[in-house]
Each structure stands twice: as structure tokens, then as C-alpha cells.
Amino acid sequence: MKIKILTVFFLSASLFLTPQCIAREKQPQLRLFVSMIQDPPVLSDRAEIDKLVNFARETGVKVIFIQVYRGNRSWFPSRVADDSLYRISAVKMSADPLALLIRKAHEQKIQVHAWLNLLSLSSNENAPLLKKYGTRILTRNIKNKQELEDYRIDGQFFLEPGDTEVRKELSSLVSELLTAYPGLDGIQFDYIRYPDVHPFYGYTRANVERFKDATGKQAIVENSAVWKSWKRRQVTELLEILVKRTRQIRPRIIVSATGCASFTRAYEEAFQDWPSWIKSGLVDFVTLMAYTRDPRKFARDIHEAEERTAAPDKLHIAVGAYKLADSPETFQDQLQFCEKQDCGACAIFHYGSLEQNPRLAKILNKEEK
């Protein structure tokens, strides 16, 4: 029996649904994140590309977010990033992997959006940007730094969003991607933020000097409004630069960014003012990373996010399947909850988690057997 995607789930989170939500008739689009680190990487093999497109078609996924940049490594030709993965696969496949995915997805009327993790170098100590600039482009706190390992935050190296060299390099990276792939339907900027683990960063020499010149302040008070506002502005300015470059090359491409949940985490710790990105029209939508196992927190973060924007259709909700591998019932409930919202889309992070956990993937099946 044919049924609409996401309408077959039993709802155990009904306590968190309002009558307005229940009355909703139009379902949000279903979207899927595809990580470049899953094994095997989708873009490394023709059969994997076919499998992804078929999965999307069978489950009603309308948009694929394919990760093409992570840890200063790329799945497209680049001088900014280490593109060896791309080059090896292109030779193996006798084709450009991303171009092939775009073509096959378009044949099934599925959009492809490039997904870029921009300010995180992951744990890549051999990142080309590190080799070129050294540690001066890595955001830092005020603790003494002796070696590269001292800059690691939550297992990652984070670039400083206020650094002009970082902005120039990431802008060039976006140019490389969009010039090479005119068939892309969208581009999503991820990791446009400060690290939010013990959020006391931003103390690179260049960023501090720029702060002093701009504000007239000769000393930084960590919890002062002016310093926090400055860091928040650096994050937004970086996004503005990247969006401007994107629009110059592809004026009508769909542009989006990811936003942290909760809003307090985003605004006070990651220094993301993502509601302003929606309000100003800087991006076409924000994907809220609502990754949690707790149904109350999931509902609370989404309701708070909806209250922060007057355009809920520009708010897309991402469910963290990777956190719910052992709890398909919670995964089902979160998708059901998302379906009842006024958001523009429900997204799943990520495809690899569904592949590894058939009970999760089965929830998306369009046919009841």
C-alpha cells in the first residue's frame, strides 16, 4: 500500500505537540546528509553513488546534502584543500564523482547541495592551510601554546573566523567548487562558528589587533558585551563574504547554513546569530542541528527556534540519526514531531547511520508491506 513518507509513525512524543501543529496538512520536504567519512565514501565508487540515489528515490528524499569538504580535504579539484581523495576516485571511476552524482540525482528529480565544514580542520595535522600559514590562523584561548597539539579543541583544530587570511582562503575554496560544478542546486555552509567547548576563544594576534582598532578598547574583558558582540560579528561577516562570493558566481543557487541548538548555545557559546541570517535574507534557510536523544530537549529547542524567526519555512530541522542507532522508536518520534512543524524541511544526519542500522532506514520506507 502506497503511503506518504513519514505519515505511518506512532507518536509517543504527542505531549509536545500543539493543536496548531497537529492541524498541519503540508509535510516538510525530507532531506539527507551524506558524510564523506562513511565507509566506503559514497563518492569513491559508482555503485555507491547509484545506491545513494536509489535510496533517496525510494524513501522520498528530495534533497541530498553531500559533504564535499571536511578537515581541509575536498572531493573536488582544489588548490586550497587536499584534493587527493577526489583525484584518486576520478581516475578509478574515469569520471568526476560529484558531477556523476549530480547527473544521476537530477535524473530522479533530486536536488544536490554541496555541504562544506568550513572552520574546522578536524584532526588533520597535515592540513594544507596549516602548512601554509602555521598556527596563527587557528583560534585560541589565552593559555600558553607550545606546540600544535595545544591548539586542539574538542579533538579538532578550529580556524579563526575573524582572520583575513582564513576568509580569503575559504572564499577561494567556494569559488573553486561553484565554478567546477554549475549543476549544483545549493550550497550549505557548516561550521560557521566559534568552538563552543569552554567558549573562550578568539585570541589570535590578528583578531585581537583588529578588535582593538575597531572598538578603541585596549584590553579584552572575556564576558563583556563588546567582546562577545565582536566575535558574533566576525562569524556573520565570514558568512557574508562567502555568500557574496557565491552569489557572484551563481546568483540563483540555494544558499544555506547550519545553526546550533539550543539558541543559547548558538548565540552565547558558538557566537552564531543565525536568526539574523534568516531575518536579513542572508541565507535562504538555516538547518537547525537538533541532535539529542532527549525528546523534551528536542521539542524545546525546536519551539525556541521557531519563536526566534518570523519565517518558520526558512528553518529546517535536522534529526541526529547517528545518536539514535539503538533507539529507532526515538528516531521515528523525532521525525514525526518534525513533520508536524511549520518548518521548511526535515533533514536526517546522516545517510551512513541509516545504512548501518536497517531498523532506522526501514522507518523511511514508502511502502507498507
**Helix 205-215 × helix 225-249 angle, to 10°:** 100
Q: Which helix (H) or strand (E) holds 255?
A: strand 254-260
For cell 548501518, name the residue.
356
Is 213 a member of any domain? yes
Among residues 328, 262, 354, which one has the least CA distance to residue 64?
354
Is 304 a member of any domain? yes
Identity of the residue numbered 360: L
Buried b (16+ CB within 10 A) or exposed e, 320-355: bbbbbeeebebbbbbbbbbbbbebbbbbbbbbbbbb
Give the single-character DSSP code of 283.
S
Collapsing DSSP states into helix, strand and coil, what is residue 301?
Answer: helix
Among residues 208, 226, 322, 306, which one has the least CA distance to residue 259?
306
* Per-residue confidence in pLDDT tens, the chain, 369 aa: 333 333 332 223 332 333 333 334 456 889 999 999 988 999 999 999 999 999 999 999 999 999 999 999 999 999 999 999 999 999 999 999 999 999 999 999 999 999 999 999 999 999 999 999 999 999 999 999 999 999 999 999 999 999 999 999 999 999 999 999 999 999 999 999 999 888 899 999 999 999 999 999 999 999 999 999 999 999 999 999 999 999 999 999 999 999 999 999 999 999 999 999 999 999 999 999 999 999 999 999 999 999 999 898 999 999 999 999 999 999 999 999 999 998 999 999 999 999 999 999 999 874 333
Please report the pLDDT score of residue 19 as a whole number: 33
Nearest-10 Cα torsion for 66, 72, 78, 84: -90
d(CA 119, CA 114): 16
- pTM across the whole model: 0.91
Is 47 a member of any domain? yes
Please report the pLDDT score of residue 197 as a whole number: 84
**Helix 97-107 × helix 46-59 angle, to 10°:** 30
Is 22 a member of any domain? yes
Say which CATH number the domain at 76 has: 3.20.20.80
Alpha helix stretches (DSSP H) within the chain: 19-22, 46-59, 84-93, 97-107, 128-133, 164-180, 205-215, 225-249, 263-264, 274-279, 295-308, 328-339, 351-356, 358-362
Contact yes or no for 153/74 (Cβ under 8 A): no
For cell 580556524, name the residue.
159
- What is the number of H-type helices and E-type strands within the chain? 14, 9
Is 148 a member of any domain? yes
Is 124 a member of any domain? yes
Among residues 223, 314, 315, which one has the least CA distance to residue 271?
223
Among residues 106, 316, 51, which one has the least CA distance to residue 190?
316
d(CA 230, CA 223): 12
Is 29 a member of any domain? yes
Please report the pLDDT score of residue 28 as a whole number: 82
Please report the pLDDT score of residue 21 as a whole number: 35
d(CA 72, CA 95): 22
Among residues 1, 61, 2, 5, which one has the least CA distance to residue 332?
5
Is 7 a member of any domain? no
Omega prior to 19 cis, within 30 of 0: no
Please report the pLDDT score of residue 310 as a whole number: 87
Nearest-10 Cα torsion for 184, 190, 192, 194: -170
Among residues 190, 130, 187, 188, which one has the least CA distance to residue 163?
130
Task: Write out the DSSP string of 207-253.
Answer: HHHHHHHHH--SS--TT-HHHHHHHHHHHHHHHHHHHHHHHHH-TTS
Task: Note down the domain range covering 287.
Answer: 14-362
Give the single-character DSSP code of 127.
-
The structural domain count of the chain equals: 1
How crowded is the C-beta side of 211, counted as CA atoms within 13 Å? 27
Please report the pLDDT score of residue 29 as a whole number: 87
